[in-house]
Amino acid sequence: MTARSNGEVQEAIADMLADYGHLIDADRLEEWLDFFVEDSVYKIMPRENVVKGLPLSLMLCENKNMIRDRITSLRQANVYNIHVDRHVIGRPRIVGEEDGVYSIEANYAVFQTDQDGMTRVFSVGQYVDKVVFLDDGPKFKEKVVVVDTAAVPTLLATPL
Amino acid sequence: MTARSNGEVQEAIADMLADYGHLIDADRLEEWLDFFVEDSVYKIMPRENVVKGLPLSLMLCENKNMIRDRITSLRQANVYNIHVDRHVIGRPRIVGEEDGVYSIEANYAVFQTDQDGMTRVFSVGQYVDKVVFLDDGPKFKEKVVVVDTAAVPTLLATPL
Amino acid sequence: MTARSNGEVQEAIADMLADYGHLIDADRLEEWLDFFVEDSVYKIMPRENVVKGLPLSLMLCENKNMIRDRITSLRQANVYNIHVDRHVIGRPRIVGEEDGVYSIEANYAVFQTDQDGMTRVFSVGQYVDKVVFLDDGPKFKEKVVVVDTAAVPTLLATPL
């Protein structure tokens, strides 16, 4: 592992988050998957549960294969995605580091546009992530999407 | 005072703004207060008044004690905050520097989610700030929140 | 031309985008024009057309004079702008470089506030730009605003 300055770490993570949002928005979920290590956790939690310490999540993938399966299911469902997403992600905050695992947080807003071209705020919340650096760049060891917006009818369609 | 490059100044201020938004969103207002120096001004101005040169503000704290008092009032009011906030802040622009006081501007959007999990755009506008660097990092000497969104019923509940 | 690191390129382009949004929001369109080179293309395309490879745009300026003319028309129309804009722009992604021309992408959200102080999501989408560096900084050689939000009644009033 190469030594990195704090600035380099933050730039690399900010770039990853921008790419992450882009790949979801572009419906390139197979490439999006590359941001996760094999034993990574991906879950979506309501903010209220996080605050109250309740474990219940809206979606839970306990390893990369579970995330992979979700994408496969999405593709096989063979339904046209009638909404398009657009992520706007705030600057990540590096809140800790232990043994090369960086704890980061970043606010996000996802806007969704329907087939009539009408846009609405779809989901806002916070990414609470653990990031490791591999040879080909930063990866999520854990990604928890803490959603403020609990009223999400189409939540399970695409990742956030 | 240590010499800083323009890049370092901007990174430090961008980090401060991200932390600033995070602390409001997390309702950690006592820590949020640490971003202000003792003689700092915090005010919320309607954009229209700024454009027309009118002095009238929606909220005015002329020093840190006044900001402190507002937080104390909020805490003593002992009402549950029925909305949660989420800040997404754009990249700060350094627009000037004089005697170590940096003038910066940054666009923001604050989303608010109610108890039913419905999210709406709560306030958008621009931070117009004066920032100084102390030993423990950048602080606001003046923070003017110029709000586009004038129709804000719950404006006085939490800072922006 | 001076050699630039990847980090310097990205910072400079991120700064340009922040300034770009600011100048539109502040209705300083004559200065905003300075971000375009003489033979630059500015167009607004619906996302659907981009995905389907259709050439039809919502607005097309094939050189800087056409952009200049649009601003002149806006000024001469002498109508009061009854909405104000606010841009929040995500981190730019540098997706390629050839002969000093950088291909970049960045997500944006534009909020519009009416005279009653009510704010709504006006347009979200992606900037897909080609950027060159001149002596006085980065400029757009091409700017394509890919809009998710097709239902834009007041689209032609101001640039995005």
- Using one digit for the tens of pLDDT, what is the confidence trace for A26-71? 999 999 999 999 999 999 999 999 999 999 998 899 999 999 999 9
Strand partners, B101: B98
**At A23, is the secondary structure helix, strand, or coil?**
helix
Task: Please tell me if residue B103 touches chain C, with a CB cutoff of 8 Å.
Answer: no
Chain B hits for C89, CB-CB cut-off 8 Å, are 90-91
pLDDT reading at C57 higher than 60 = yes
Sign, Cα dihedral of C144, C146, C150, C154: negative
Residue B152 counted as domain residue: no
pLDDT reading at B122 higher than 60 = yes
Asked if A147 contacts A123 with a C-beta cutoff of 8 angstroms, the reply is yes
Strand duo A137-147 + A36-46: pairing: parallel
Residue A40 counted as domain residue: yes
pLDDT score at A81: 61
Residue B154 counted as domain residue: no
Q: What angle do CA C43, C48, C49 make, to 5 degrees?
A: 50
Structure confidence by residue, pLDDT tens digits, A66-110: 999 999 988 887 566 678 999 999 999 999 999 999 999 999 999
Q: Do B117 and A93 touch (CB under 8 A)?
A: no
Total number of domains in chain C: 1
pLDDT reading at B78 higher than 90 = no
Structure confidence by residue, pLDDT tens digits, A115-126: 889 999 999 999
* Global ipTM: 0.93
Task: For residue A94, give the CATH number of its domain.
Answer: 3.10.450.50
Domain housing B44: 6-147
Structure tokens at B119: 């999210």
Residue A22 counted as domain residue: yes
Residue A118 counted as domain residue: yes
Residue B82 counted as domain residue: yes
Residue C77 counted as domain residue: yes
pLDDT band at C124 (very low <50, low <70, confident <90, very high): very high
pLDDT score at C41: 97
For an interface test with A, the pick among C9, C44, C107 (most A C-beta atoms closer than 10 Å) comes out as C107
Per-residue pLDDT, averaged over C101-122, amounts to 95
Residue C123 counted as domain residue: yes
pLDDT reading at C52 higher than 70 = yes
Nearest to C150 among A11, A117, A120 (CB): A117
Strand partners, B43: B60, B144
Chain A hits for C152, CB-CB cut-off 8 Å, are 117
Q: Do A125 and B86 touch (CB under 8 A)?
A: yes
pLDDT score at C158: 82
Chain B hits for C88, CB-CB cut-off 8 Å, are 88-90, 107-109, 124
Structure confidence by residue, pLDDT tens digits, C134-157: 999 999 999 999 999 887 655 557
Q: Which of residues 111-150 of A touch B (CB under 8 A)?
A: 121, 123-126, 148-150
